[in-house]
């Protein structure tokens, strides 16, 4: 198979005054891969993800999705991606279906039928009753499920996840990663920032460790054990 | 502890760019309003004083003429400017400024200054009182709406609470701090006001200024406490701001107009035409001195002739024309008392209805107090109108009595009065009601303001728990 | 995804916000109350006018009958010299005289303006205009102080607040709640999404204001028969649209500035204060200081002085008057001068002295009005106020037209009666039918349009500039998380 990463960072650099948030970051994520970004607070993980969303414009370097430079075609490149931040914030006054309808319409330009929307929500793990409740009262786990449903509804094959499971209980976290596995199996490329070494090892295919905006290590998860990953991580944090 | 909190709050505000800007804008508006108001006020006061003494001189310098012609000639009474009129113009733009004191008629006040202004001026013109009543509260809201809600959002409130700072201490401290910052803005303005007042009106003016300051201090305190209270209760700074701005718009823009409009409905006043038609009708039913043929006059004649045992009015011991004209005046005075009394009772009812609006908007009471202390409320307009009317009656009586006492029988209209007669009436002098009397009359408004403060303080005191999350 | 679909979604979100309904109910109720207040005021004016016209018709009839009898030689009833319909001097001074009425315009219930302090009627008289051309309507001044509540006020002051309240956190609020990130992760032009958010809210406020106007028009019984009324109504709506667009532009610019919701609320409030309060205050202060209202007190004093001076030199006054009116001498040779002519001569002498003062007074007033009119360009609120008042027939221009028409009529009236007094002609029934009548002539729609256009154009330009600024900034605002 030819090397054609769906997600690619080429020398991404971003400075905020004196802080270097990203320092010539290179990485690529292929279809069917889950790439986990590890690193201390402030290492630049979110900044990297935001570059793929055009939320942040890199000073130099570029972020590419499916071979297109994000900054050149911010709208086109969003066609196929889904974004799930730490908490998927939704319109509290609207029900889950209505929220999904809104975002799916925004994403695809056509209004999906209700049965389709329901199907996605149920696939994402919500019940039919919950689907019609206002999301104002939703727990974090339920919100993340709606986020997955959005990705499903728009048929995204690029997923950008920024600490999507932090604060979820183990069961919810497990469910979430199950869904991720499913998406990956369908050929999605997933870039996920996380602090959860265990999950990174479990559901990631590759991990990258960041420090002060630089990628200091990158390895395949099947090459390393749980304990070794933690060891490696801490070692990088200490130097 | 309170002092520490207040100092922090004060320091924060004074360093805040927004406060500086807002303070500059509001402060300059206040000063501009005061100076512009004072310039106009002084010109008007000078014009008025000059005009009044000209009028009076014209009266005194009349050539020898029949006293009744003199009464018809009459004079104009011009409303004087009150010492604090430049701070709060009150009803002055809408009451007439001049009344012609002539024989037979109590004239309405004419020449409302508002008539000669443009709609844009009426909409845009801000007196110092207007800025104090509307913009300073807005400033307070802008500065203090985030005092609690903002700290809560930033999480610092949790810190404070974890240190064991009681909610009430925090509230008082913040109030003192923000109040201090406001003082930084308001004290210089008050000093400018005091200087202007001192220049023209001396001690009485200063007392009034002091009282005015007290009222506005209470008003601002009320707003500050209200703002802090809402801020403490609101879920977010944004929510607090929305609630407070709605209250502000209600209190300042909507409620007063609504109260005025409703008051108009509660106690309707007649149209000017209907009113004067009523007065005419009442006048026509009695003696008016000009129509000796009317029934009432005949009755008067008959009773006089009988009482004095003479057969012709020319044989009475006084001049009959003068006597009957005075009786005519007295009849007319009764008619005026009746009709103007009714009209003014309607006004009073409207004012009471309007003041009731203070239940939902403290500004209604504060504005009333402010006008009263500035000497420009309707009650004091009426005091002047009454004084002018008394003078008119005095003057007419003097003229008629002169004819009755000195004119030869049947010669009432060829008798000539001279300068001693004109001078005998004395000049028209008006002493405005003193501050004490004004404040007593304003007891209801004072009560409203006190009640508002009291209610707020009680509510705040009952608020035991401060939600920090 | 079409703009319309976005609007629809936005509406769905908005519909469930409590703030919206509070705003709608408040604005609606206030607007309706204001409309009813304007309608009540206008009805009161119309009632006064109807009373005046009825009173005049009655008086005219009875005096006409009396005149007919007198003319036919009936001497059975003595007529007082002060009530003699044959005397041109007496009738000229106002016996049975018609009223010069400025009727409320078709859209009058929508705005009161200065109508509550300016005269809208006067009884024709040969007397000096300044002594009787004033508004003596009865109104509690304590009530006037509060200011009138009319629809124009609600549109001028409250409508922007509603627009701002609905739009201030359209962008910042979404950003703070975190929904913006999810929205912007979709393949849509951020400017379109944010534009739709803002537009949905602004359109709502616009719909409210327009709806309120229509309800007010229907409820207050504005008669829509005249195409001119329709035109004015259309212009009124145009003013609302343009003024709304201006505020929308401001809101867009502020929304684009990447502030927090609270900061954007404060900024918009500052903008509101600046446009609705501070700039008009500056304009008013400047006009008041540079063009103070001329003093009617001074004028009254001067008139009295002039009258006294004329009376003191009665013979001089008479002599110079007769010099100007030689026809009268020929007629009156021998007899004592007619007291009516004497009083004409005295009035004439006093007015000669006063003419420059009156001219100065009117000029000062006109200068003040002109200054106020040109200062309106300082703030869209002032422009809008002028436009709304103009359209409702409560504007400066209409009142000035009334004054001018009154002056012309007053001159005509004086001429009619003075000439007859001088030639010692008593009034015949034919003369009575020929007494000049006053009818206010409305200005043409095109003149109105010419006056409104610059202000509307300015506001629209400002709106577009602000919106363009906002559009540029919205892209940047979209990036910020
Ligand atoms: N808008 C900004 N302005 C200034 N500095 C910023 C901004 N955004 C990020 N930074 C800085 O850039 C660096 C990288 O931040 P980033 O949010 O990417 O870290 P992160 O790896 O996601 O951390 P965390 O694990 O805490 O989420 C940090 O030092 C941060 O302070
Ligand atoms: Mg992060």
Question: Is the pLDDT higher at A239 or at C456?
Answer: C456
Would you state the pLDDT for residue B164? 63
Asked if residue B468 belongs to a domain, the reply is no
Most C-contacting residue of A57, A81, A106 (CB-CB within 10 A), to test interface: A106
The DSSP H or E segment spanning A111 is none
Q: What is the pTM of this model?
A: 0.84
Residue from A18, A20, A21 to probe ligand 1 pocket by mutation (most atoms less than 8 Å from CB): A21
Residue B69 in tokens: 């012609």
| Closest-lying ligand 1 atom to the alpha carbon of residue A210 | 21
Across chain A, what does the average pLDDT equal?
88
CB contact (8 A) between residue A147 and residue C182: yes
pLDDT in tens, B90-145: 888 888 888 888 888 888 777 778 778 888 888 878 888 988 998 899 989 988 88
Of A54, A109, A160, the CB nearest to C1: A109
| A106 contacts in chain C (CB < 8 Å) | 1, 6, 183, 186, 188, 193
Q: For residue A57, which ligand has an atom nearest its CA?
A: 1
Asked whether C411 and C171 are in contact (CB, 8 A), the reply is: no
Would you state the pLDDT for residue A1? 39
| C182 contacts in chain A (CB < 8 Å) | 83, 85, 88-90, 103, 147, 150
pLDDT in tens, A100-124: 888 888 788 788 899 999 999 999 8
In chain A, domain spans: 1-80+157-239, 88-155
Asked whether B89 and B36 are in contact (CB, 8 A), the reply is: no
Nearest protein Cα to ligand 1, atom 31? A42
Q: How far is CA C244 from CA B440, C8, C95, C375, in A?
A: 48, 20, 52, 21
Asked if residue B316 belongs to a domain, the reply is yes
Direct distance between the N- and C-terminal alpha carbons of chain B, in angstroms, rounded to an integer: 23
Q: What does the pLDDT average to over B374-386?
A: 91
pLDDT in tens, B168-181: 778 888 899 999 98
Quote the ligand 1 centre to C181 CA distance (angstroms): 16
Does C25 contact A at CB distance below 8 Å? no
Q: Where are the beta strands (DSSP E) in chain A?
A: 7-16, 19-29, 34-39, 60-65, 68-69, 81-84, 158-162, 189-193, 206-211, 214-220
| C37 contacts in chain B (CB < 8 Å) | 261
| Angle separating helix axes B272-284 and C18-71, nearest 10 degrees | 40
CB contact (8 A) between residue C297 and residue B263: no
Chain-centre distance for alpha carbon A61: 21
- Give the pLDDT band of residue B158 (cuts 50, 70, 90): confident
CB contact (8 A) between residue C183 and residue A94: no
Q: In chain C, how long is the greatest CA-to-CA distance? A: 107
Would you state the pLDDT for residue C478? 59
| Closest-lying ligand 1 atom to the alpha carbon of residue A44 | 18
pLDDT at B20 over 80: yes
Question: Residue B156 belongs to what domain range?
Answer: 2-461
The DSSP secondary structure of C183-215, one letter per residue, reads: HHTSSS-HHHHHHHHHHHHHHHHHHHHHHHHHH
| Closest-lying ligand 1 atom to the alpha carbon of residue A47 | 18
CB contact (8 A) between residue A81 and residue C185: yes
Return the closest-CA partner of residue B290 out of B103, B100, B102, B64: B103
Name all residues whose Cβ lies below 6 A of ligand 1. A 16, 19, 21, 39, 41-47
Chains that touch A (3 or more CB pairs under 8 A): C
Would you state the pLDDT for residue B387? 92
CB contact (8 A) between residue B253 and residue C288: no
Would you state the pLDDT for residue C134? 77
Q: For residue A40, which ligand has an atom nearest its CA?
A: 1
Q: How far apart are CA B396 and CA B464, in angstroms?
A: 69
pLDDT at B293 over 60: no
CB contact (8 A) between residue C17 and residue A93: yes
Across chain B, what does the average pLDDT equal?
85
**What is the domain count for chain B?**
1
Kindly tell me the sign of the dihedral angle through the C-alpha atoms of B405, B411, B413, B416.
Answer: negative
Does the domain at residues A1-80+157-239 carry the CATH identifier 2.60.120.10?
A: no
Residue B61 in tokens: 């310098």
Q: How far is CA C259 from CA B148, C255, C469, C476, in A?
A: 20, 7, 15, 12
Own/partner pairs for C407-412, CB < 8 Å, 24+ apart? C407/C129, C409/C100, C409/C124, C409/C436, C409/C438, C410/C124, C410/C129, C412/C436
Question: Is the pLDDT higher at C81 or at B223?
Answer: B223
Of A56, A57, A107, the CB nearest to C186: A107
| C55 contacts in chain B (CB < 8 Å) | 273
CB contact (8 A) between residue C142 and residue B270: no
Asked if residue B321 belongs to a domain, the reply is yes
Q: How far apart are CA B415 and CA B96, in angstroms?
A: 36
| B272 contacts in chain C (CB < 8 Å) | 48, 136-138
Phi and psi at residue A210, to the nearest 5°: -110, 150
Would you state the pLDDT for residue B467? 64
Asked if residue B397 belongs to a domain, the reply is yes
CA atoms within 13 A on the CB side of C115: 30
Q: How far apart are CA C63 and CA C61, in angstroms?
A: 5
Asked if residue B358 belongs to a domain, the reply is yes
Q: What does the pLDDT average to over B196-209?
A: 84
For residue C425, the 8-state DSSP code is P
- Give the pLDDT band of residue B292 (cuts 50, 70, 90): very low
Quote the ligand 2 centre to B148 CA distance (angstroms): 29
Return the closest-CA partner of residue B428 out of B63, B77, B60: B77
Q: How far apart are CA B158 and CA B172, in angstroms?
A: 18
pLDDT at B160 over 70: no
Which distant-in-sequence residues (6+ apart) come within 8 Å of A102 by Cβ?
A91, A94, C9, C12
- Give the pLDDT band of residue A10 (cuts 50, 70, 90): very high
Does C17 contact A at CB distance below 8 Å? yes
- ipTM of the prediction: 0.83
- Reading chain C (481 residues) residue by residue, the pLDDT tens digits are 677 888 888 888 888 877 778 878 888 888 988 898 899 889 989 988 998 899 899 988 988 888 888 888 777 777 777 788 888 888 888 888 889 999 999 899 999 988 888 889 988 898 888 778 877 788 888 778 877 788 999 999 989 988 988 888 888 888 877 888 888 888 888 788 888 888 888 888 899 999 999 998 888 878 888 888 888 999 999 999 999 999 999 998 888 887 877 788 888 888 998 899 888 988 888 888 888 888 888 888 888 888 888 888 888 888 887 777 776 655 555 566 777 888 888 888 888 888 898 899 989 989 998 998 888 899 999 999 999 999 999 988 899 999 999 999 999 999 898 888 888 788 888 888 888 999 999 888 788 888 899 999 999 999 999 988 888 877 766 554 4
Would you state the pLDDT for residue C71? 81
Would you state the pLDDT for residue C410? 93
Q: What does the pLDDT average to over A178-203?
A: 89
pLDDT at B267 over 90: no
Residue A226 in tokens: 């749980």
């Amino acid at each position: 198979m030819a090397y054609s990463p769906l997600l690619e960072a080429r020398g991404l650099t971003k400075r905020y005054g004196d802080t270097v948030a990203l320092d010539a970051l290179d990485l690529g994520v292929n279809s069917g891969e889950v790439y986990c970004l590890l690193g201390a607070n402030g290492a630049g993980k979110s900044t990297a993800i935001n570059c793929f969303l055009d939320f942040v414009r890199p000073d130099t370097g570029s972020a590419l999705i499916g071979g297109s430079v994000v900054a050149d075609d911010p709208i086109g490149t969003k066609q196929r991606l889904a974004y799930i931040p730490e908490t998927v914030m939704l319109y509290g006054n609207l029900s889950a279906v209505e929220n999904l309808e809104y975002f799916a319409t925004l994403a695809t330009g056509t209004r999906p039928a209700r049965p389709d929307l329901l199907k996605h929500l149920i696939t994402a793990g919500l019940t039919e009753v919950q689907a019609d409740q206002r999301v104002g009262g939703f727990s974090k786990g339920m919100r993340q499920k709606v986020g997955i449903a959005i990705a499903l509804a728009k048929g995204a094959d690029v997923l950008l996840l920024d600490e999507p499971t932090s604060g979820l209980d183990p069961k919810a976290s497990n469910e979430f990663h199950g869904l991720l596995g499913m998406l990956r199996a369908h050929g999605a490329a997933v870039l996920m920032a996380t602090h959860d070494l265990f999950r990174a090892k479990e559901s990631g295919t590759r991990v990258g460790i960041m420090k002060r905006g630089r990628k200091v290590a990158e390895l395949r998860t099947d090459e390393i054990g749980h304990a070794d990953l933690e060891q490696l991580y801490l070692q990088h944090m200490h130097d | 502890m309170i002092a520490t909190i207040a100092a922090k709050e004060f320091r924060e505000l004074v360093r805040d760019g927004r406060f500086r800007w807002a303070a500059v804008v509001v402060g300059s508006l206040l000063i501009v309003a005061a100076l512009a108001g004072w310039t106009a006020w002084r010109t008007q006061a000078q014009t008025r004083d000059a005009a009044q003494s000209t009028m009076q001189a014209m009266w005194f310098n009349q050539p020898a003429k029949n006293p009744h012609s003199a009464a018809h000639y009459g004079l104009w009474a011009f409303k004087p400017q009150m010492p604090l009129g430049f701070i709060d113009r009150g009803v002055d733009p809408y009451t007439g400024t001049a009344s012609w004191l002539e024989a037979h008629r109590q004239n309405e006040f004419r020449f409302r200054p508002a008539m000669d202004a443009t709609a844009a001026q009426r909409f845009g013109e801000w007196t110092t009182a207007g800025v104090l009543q509307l913009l300073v509260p807005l400033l307070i809201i802008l500065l203090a709406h985030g005092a609690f809600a903002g700290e809560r959002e930033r999480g610092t409130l949790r810190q404070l609470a974890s240190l064991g700072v009681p909610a009430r201490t925090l509230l008082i401290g913040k109030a003192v701090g923000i109040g201090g910052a406001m003082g930084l803005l308001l004290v210089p303005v008050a000093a400018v006001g005091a200087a202007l007042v001192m220049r023209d009106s001396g001690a009485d003016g200063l007392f009034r200024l002091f009282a005015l300051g007290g009222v506005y201090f209470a008003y601002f305190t009320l707003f500050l406490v209200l703002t802090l209270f809402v801020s403490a209760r609101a879920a977010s700074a944004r929510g607090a701001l929305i609630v407070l701005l709605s209250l502000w718009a209600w209190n300042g823009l909507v409620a007063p107009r609504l109260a005025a409009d409703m008051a108009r409905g509660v106690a309707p006043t007649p149209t000017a035409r209907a009113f004067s038609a009523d007065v005419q009708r009442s006048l026509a039913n009695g003696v008016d001195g000009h129509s000796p043929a009317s029934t009432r006059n005949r009755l008067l004649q008959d009773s006089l002739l009988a009482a004095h045992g003479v057969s012709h009015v020319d044989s009475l011991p006084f001049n009959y024309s003068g006597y009957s004209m005075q009786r005519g005046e007295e009849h007319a005075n009764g008619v005026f008392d009746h009709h103007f009394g009714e009209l003014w009772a309607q006004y009073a009812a409207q004012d009471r209805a309007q003041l009731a609006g203070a239940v939902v908007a403290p500004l209604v009471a504060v504005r009333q107090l402010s006008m009263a202390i500035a000497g420009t409320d309707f009650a004091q307009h009426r005091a002047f109108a009454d004084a002018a009317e008394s003078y008119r009656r005095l003057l007419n009586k003097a003229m008629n009595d002169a004819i009755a006492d000195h004119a030869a029988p049947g010669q009432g209209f060829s008798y000539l009065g001279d300068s001693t007669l004109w001078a005998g009436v004395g000049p028209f002098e008006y002493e405005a009601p003193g501050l004490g009397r004004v404040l007593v009359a304003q007891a209801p408004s004072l009560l409203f303001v006190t009640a508002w403060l009291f209610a707020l303080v009680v509510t705040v005191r009952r608020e035991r728990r401060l939600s920090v999350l | 995804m079409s703009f319309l679909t976005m609007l629809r979604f936005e509406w769905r979100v908005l519909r469930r916000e409590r703030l919206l309904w509070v705003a709608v109910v408040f604005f609606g109720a206030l607007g309706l109350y204001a409309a009813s207040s304007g309608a009540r005021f206008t009805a009161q004016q119309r009632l006064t006018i109807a009373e005046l016209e009825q009173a005049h018709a009655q008086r005219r009839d009875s005096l006409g009958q009396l005149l007919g009898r007198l003319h036919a030689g009936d001497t059975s009833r003595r007529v007082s010299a002060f009530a003699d319909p044959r005397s041109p001097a007496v009738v000229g001074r106002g016996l049975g005289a018609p009223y010069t009425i400025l009727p409320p315009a078709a859209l009058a219930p929508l705005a009161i303006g200065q109508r509550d302090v300016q005269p809208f009627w006067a009884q024709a008289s040969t007397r000096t205009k300044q002594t009787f051309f004033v508004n003596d309507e009865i109104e509690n001044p304590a009530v006037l102080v509060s200011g009138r509540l009319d629809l124009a006020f609600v549109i001028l002051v409250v409508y922007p607040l509603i627009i701002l309240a609905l739009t201030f956190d359209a962008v910042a609020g979404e950003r703070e709640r975190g929904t913006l990130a999810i929205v912007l992760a979709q393949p849509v032009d951020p400017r379109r999404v944010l534009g739709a958010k803002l537009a949905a809210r602004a359109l709502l406020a616009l719909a409210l204001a327009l709806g309120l106007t229509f309800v007010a028009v229907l409820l207050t019984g504005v008669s829509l028969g005249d195409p001119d009324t329709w035109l004015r109504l259309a212009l009124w709506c145009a003013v609302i649209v343009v003024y709304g667009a201006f505020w929308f532009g401001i809101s867009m610019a502020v929304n684009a500035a990447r502030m927090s919701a609270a900061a954007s609320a404060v900024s918009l409030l500052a903008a509101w204060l600046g446009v609705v309060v501070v700039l008009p205050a500056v304009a008013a202060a400047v006009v008041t200081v540079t063009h103070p209202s001329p003093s009617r007190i001074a004028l009254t004093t001067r008139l009295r002085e002039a009258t006294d001076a004329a009376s003191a030199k009665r013979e001089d006054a008479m002599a110079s008057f007769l010099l100007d009116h030689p026809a009268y001498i020929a007629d009156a040779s021998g007899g004592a001068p007619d007291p009516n002519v004497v009083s004409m001569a005295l009035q004439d002498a006093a007015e000669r002295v006063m003419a420059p003062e009156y001219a100065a007074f009117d000029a000062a007033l006109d200068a003040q009005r002109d200054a106020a009119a040109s200062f309106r360009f300082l703030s869209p609120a002032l422009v809008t106020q002028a436009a709304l008042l103009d359209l409702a027939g409560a504007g400066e221009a209409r009142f000035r037209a009334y004054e001018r028409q009154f002056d012309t009529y007053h001159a005509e009236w004086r001429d009619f009666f003075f000439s007859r007094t001088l030639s010692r002609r008593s009034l015949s029934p034919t003369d009575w039918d020929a007494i000049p009548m006053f009818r206010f002539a409305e200005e043409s729609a095109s003149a109105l349009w010419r006056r409104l256009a610059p202000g509307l154009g300015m506001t629209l330009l400002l709106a577009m500039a602000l919106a363009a600024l906002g559009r540029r900034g919205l892209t940047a605002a979209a990036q910020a998380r």
